[in-house]
Amino acid sequence: MPIIDVYAPDGLFPQGSDRALAERLAAVAMRAEGVPTPAPQAVRDVTGVYIHRLPSTAIHTASTGSARIVRLQVTIGAGGLDRAGQKALVADATQIVTAISGDPTQAARTWVVITEAMEGGWGINGHAYGKGETLSQTHPAFGPRGMAPTRVEG
CATH number of the domain to which 109 belongs: 3.30.429.10
Burial group, residue 29, by CB count within 10 angstroms (0-12, 13-18, 19+): buried
**76 beta partners:** 116
pLDDT at 137 over 70: no
- Residue 19 host element (H or E): helix 18-33
Q: Report d(CA 113, CA 105) in Å as an integer.
A: 19
How large a percentage of the chain has pLDDT more than 90? 58
Residue 10 placed within a domain: yes
Residue 89 placed within a domain: yes
Residues near 2 by Cβ (< 8 Å), separated by ≥ 6?
26, 29, 30, 33, 47, 74, 75, 76, 80
Report the number of distinct structural domains present in the chain.
1
9-13: average pLDDT: 96
Residue 149 placed within a domain: no
Is the separation of the CB atoms in 139 and 97 below 8 Å? no
Alpha carbon 40 to chain centroid, angstroms = 17
Backbone dihedral region for residue 142 (phi beyond 0: left; psi -120 to 50: alpha; all else: beta): alpha
Q: 137 or 93: which carries more pLDDT confidence?
A: 93
Residue 147 placed within a domain: no
**65 beta partners:** none
**46 beta partners:** none
27-37: average pLDDT: 91
Residue 152 placed within a domain: no
Residue 101 placed within a domain: yes
- Residue 43 host element (H or E): helix 41-46
pLDDT of residue 77: 83
Residue 150 placed within a domain: no
Residue-wise pLDDT for 46-69, tens only, equals 899 999 999 989 999 999 888 999
β-pairing verdict for 70-77 and 3-9: antiparallel
Domain that holds residue 130: 3-142
